[in-house]
Amino acid sequence: MNAVEYAKPQSIDDAIRALNNAPAGARVLAGGTDLLVQLRAGHVRPPVIVDLKGIAELRRIEVTATGFRIGAAVAGAELGEHAQFAAEWPGVTEAFHLIGSTQIQGRATMGGNLCNASPAADSVPALIAAGARCVIVGASGTREVAVEEVVSGPGKTTLAKGEFISEFLIARRQAHSGDAYLRFIPRTEMDIAVASAGVCLTLDDKGLCTAARVSLGAVAPTALLVADCAKALIGTSLDDAALAKLAAAASAACAPINDKRGTIEFRTKVAGVLARRAATIAAQRARGN
């Protein structure tokens, strides 16, 4: 029965050092909405918990000419209150906002939602669709990877020991672009996504789709970036035929499981429906921009 140690470093370097010196099983604490549940249930008993919320860089949202830098430990409620980000990336904002209750929003972070590595994490498909990248820091240096490269399977990431995400990089919205995220849950709140879809697309002056990214959640071991879905949209005016093709491509990409939250058949079909509906919303937003 070893006690759990707690460290609250004030800088990225100190955090790297703390994690590097920690015995195996050390856990990073950002929002804690998953970690504390696991602790309480006795599923984990880390030798040390490294709290990242003391690091200023991880708590801030920065806007530059080219993009947003969102600290990995920014809470959902804090990002939701950032009017400019919400205006430019409504899909990402909504996705992050869908994670849990108001209470959870006060704590949950983008870094935590990604690194918890649940296939059903709400913010992840939206971030992937948005083309977001993240900055990973560690003893061996700093690297930048696409969000879709972080999670390798349920509960597993590609982060090396001692590495953590410091911030997310999301471009400024381009002209005639829009994003959207939809998930299906049986209730209206407080559920884990049974299937989800994030869509980001860009139109040309004539309303033809020139670029698209479509990501699906809860239908495979990790969130998927589905190239066939993008193909179904690019070059079209997002008419019914293109949207039907998108839905079919989304369903075809699914490799879900049967569990307490849904069936294979249900997830496969609904992922297509959600992709189509999200694309419709994203297109409306793109036309309005």
Partner 1 sequence: MAKHHVTTTVNRQPVELLCDTSETLLDVLRDELGLTGSKEGCGSGDCGACSVLMDGRLVCACLVLAVEATGHEITTIEGIAEGNTLHPIQQQFLEDAALQCGICTPGFVVAAKALLDRNPDPTETEVRFWLAGNLCRCTGYDKIVRAVLTAAAKMREEAVHG
Partner 2 sequence: MGNEKEALKAGIEQGTYKWVGTRPIRPDGADKVTGRAAFGADLDLPGMVTGTVLRSPHAHARIRSIDTSAARALPGVLAVVTGADFPELPNEVAAGGEAPINFRHISENVIARAKVLYDGHAVAAVAATSAEIAAEALSRIKVDYEVLPHVIDVLDAMREDAPVLHEGLITNGVEPAPTKASNIAGRVEFAMGDVAQGFAEAEIIIERSYTTAAVHQGYIEPHACVASVTADGAATIWCSSQGQFMVREFCSKVLSMDIGNIRVTPAEIGGGFGGKTTVYLEPLAVALAQRSGRPVHMVMTRSEVFRASGPTSGTHVHIKLGAKRDGSFVAGEMELKYQAGAFPGSPAFLGGMTGFSCYEIPHAKAVCWDVVSNRPKCAAYRAPGAPMASFGVESAIDELAQQLNMDPLELRLKNAAKTGTRTIYGPKFLEIGYAETLQAAKAHPHWSAPLGPNQGRGIASGFWFNIGGQSSAAVHVNENGSVSVVTGNPDIGGSRASMAIMAAEVLGMDLDQVKPVIGDTGQIAYSFLTGGSRVTFATGMAVVQAAENVVEQLRQRAAKLWKIDVEHVIWRDGAAHCTKADEAARAPLSLAEIAHQAGRTGGPISGGVSINAAGAGPGFGTHICDVEVDPETGGVKVLRYTAIQDVGRAIHPSYVEGQLQGGAVQGIGWALNEEYVYDAKGRLQNAGFLDYRMPVCSDLPMIDTVLVEVPNPAHPYGVRGVGEVPIVPPLAAVANAVSRAAGLRMTDLPLSPPRLLAAIDGAKAAG
Site string for partner 1, 179-218 (x = CB under 8 A): ---------xxx----------------------------
Q: Which residue in the set 10, 11, 103, 284 belongs to the binding site for partner 1 (CB under 8 A)? A: 103
Contact stretch for partner 2 (CB under 8 A) within 56-64, 131-139, 217-225, 257-265:
257-265
Shortest Å, Cβ 115 to partner 1: 17
Other CB atoms within a 10 A radius of the CB of residue 280 amount to 16
**HSE (CB half, 13 Å, CA atoms) of 8?**
5
Stretch that binds partner 2, among 17-25, 87-95, 224-232, 267-275 (CB under 8 A): 267-275
Closest C-alpha to 53, from 102, 12, 5: 12
Residue choice 190, 205, 206, 240 for contact with partner 2 (CB under 8 A): 190
What distances in angstroms separate CA 238 from CA 64, 92, 179, 209, 279, one per listed residue? 32, 21, 14, 7, 8
Angle 251-246-266 from CA coordinates, rounded to 5°: 25
- Is 100 near partner 1 (CB under 8 A)? yes
Q: How far is it, in rounded angstroms, from Cα 227 to Cα 95?
A: 21
Please pick, from the candidates 55, 194, 203, 278, the single residue that binds partner 2 as defined by CB under 8 A.
Answer: 194
User: Which of 14, 17, 39, 248 is the binder for partner 1 (CB under 8 A)?
Assistant: 39
Q: Which two tokens stand for residue 175?
A: 């002209």
> What's the Cα-to-Cα distance from 281 to each of 148, 195, 208, 219, 241, rounded to whole Å?
23, 17, 15, 21, 16
- Letters for 134-173 (x = contact with partner 2 by CB under 8 A, - = none) are ----------------------------------------
Q: Of the ranges 9-17, 134-142, 181-189, 232-240, which one interacts with partner 2 (CB under 8 A)? A: 181-189
Least Å from the CB of residue 243 to partner 2: 12
263 is a site residue for partner 2 (CB under 8 A): yes
Q: How far apart are CA 124 and CA 113, in angstroms?
A: 8
Which lies closer to partner 1 via its Cβ, residue 75 or residue 132? 75
C-alpha span between 229 and 28 (Å, rounded):
35
Whether 202 and 212 have beta carbons less than 8 Å apart is answered as yes
Residue 21 as a binder of partner 1 (CB under 8 A): the answer is no
- Site residues, partner 1 (CB under 8 A): 3-6, 8, 29, 32-33, 36-37, 39-41, 49, 51, 53, 75, 77, 100-104, 106-107, 188-190
